[in-house]
Amino acid sequence: MKAYFSFLVILITTLSVGLAQNNNFQEKSDPNAKLILDKLEKQFKSYTSYELPFTIEFENPENGKTQDKGQYIQKGKSYFIKLGSQEIYTDGKTNWVYLKDRNEVQITDVEPNTNNNFFSPQQLLESYKSNQFYYAITKESTIKGKKICEIEFKPLARGVSYTKIRLTIDKTQNKLISLRVFNRDGSKQTLQLGNVVSNKIYDASVFHFDPKTVPGIRIEDLRID
């Protein structure tokens, strides 16, 4: 299960690089794709909070497919992730990674001015503003009355481990359906996203982990102070 979280961390880190930099290449990307991404990003930014179920799948030519389901909740800088036997909590200041199968929690500080959201749809969408990709609409279709669009991102840098990233979007509902990463070794990773539940009221305890509630838990406190 650790591999799933590693993928999420790597994915968000990769997509978030350069978000604050000038996007000089954007004029070469597909302007129609940008309109779709602008609309979807605007919707996510309008939420005060959102809850999102997801499925993550790994596909390897040698080992076949593995799959797991998870849940993501975000409110401002606070978020909660549940995936298999692992859970991640952050209240904006502290991170807790709870490993149920080892009955262990790892505690770290949230570093200021860095990206600490392991999985954020909003950050995935913001990746088109970076100067790391060329993107364009590659396919449009109508399925059961819904207009479906695929937008592919190709990295501009050489030597990266993947060849392209594909977003599938429901234009009718303005909804991100999935994200798929195609790696150079032939493997693929896919995030299938469920329906968003937006603007719910969450108690602060949802984003905070209290080790005292778990008997016999091992605590790895890696905070500086």
Whole-number pLDDT of residue 27: 52
Whole-number pLDDT of residue 123: 62
Q: The CATH number of the domain where 201 resides is what?
A: 2.50.20.10
Q: What is the pLDDT of residues 28-73, one digit of tens each?
A: 789 999 899 889 888 888 999 999 898 989 898 888 898 989 899 9
pTM surpassing 0.85? no
Whole-number pLDDT of residue 179: 87
Whole-number pLDDT of residue 124: 62
All residue ranges of the chain with pLDDT < 50 are 1-6, 9-25, 115-118
Whole-number pLDDT of residue 171: 95
Task: Output DSSP code: residue 110.
Answer: P
154 vs 160: CA distance, rounded Å? 10
Domain of 29 in residue numbering reads as 2-221
Whole-number pLDDT of residue 40: 87
Task: Output DSSP code: residue 111.
Answer: P
Structural domain count of the chain: 1
Residue located via tokens 């954020």: 120
- H-helix or E-strand containing 139? strand 133-143
Percent helix, strand, coil in the chain, to 5, is 25, 45, 35
Whole-number pLDDT of residue 20: 31
Cβ burial 37-52 (10 Å sphere, 16+ → b, else e): beebbebbeebebbbb
Cα 173 vs. chain centroid, distance in angstroms?
A: 20
